[in-house]
Structure 1
């Protein structure tokens, strides 16, 4: 839900037809008209619902890339390591979380999805993360 709120605040005139969220592995196709697709399958005429099916196939392609490629499998491992590091909550685990942040920034467009700024006070041994 939070991701959806952020999308509408950054792009108020845009709607997401579909999405794949790698950290949760959820595929969402908001424009999919289940009843219309069911009727089109029965009528053996998919032309009226081709957009629904195209969006679903597009998002499933992301899902398959994530689970079916070497890169995707390595990304899954990094996500799991970061979540475990977060659960442990120790400063020595922080680089695993930071690595996932960097991987996410390399996958997504940092100008649209991530904002960075210098810390107000520098981190030191006396002032850890």
Structure 2
């Protein structure tokens, strides 16, 4: 079960990154062209939010069943960079990134003017994507 979730989490990450980057660039183009914030723009940003949350759920399951997750949490593991990455840095940074994406979607959904709604998505999704890219374990990513 652990190996299955590990593969699922690793390979879905490509799709999630593609969706999030697609949302970001779609929003950027609409913002630059001063388009109105339509229902389709909201749904596209919702697709990024849903993809990120699905990846988070898979990651949380993996965190609790993995030998490098919560069961590895100790002072000794904090001294090893790779152990620290898997048990603390990666999950915490991903959660913060997904919180930012969630806040950005909520603020854009409830916004008043079109430019402000696009700006909120650009800022919050951009920061979320930055944090996600920052803590992906690139050295072992398939």
Q: TM-score range by the shorter chain?
A: 0.3 to 0.5
Under a length normalisation based on structure 2, what TM-score does the superposition of the two structures give?
0.32
Under a length normalisation based on structure 1, what TM-score does the superposition of the two structures give?
0.34
Task: Give 1 or 2 for the bigger CA radius of gyration.
Answer: 1
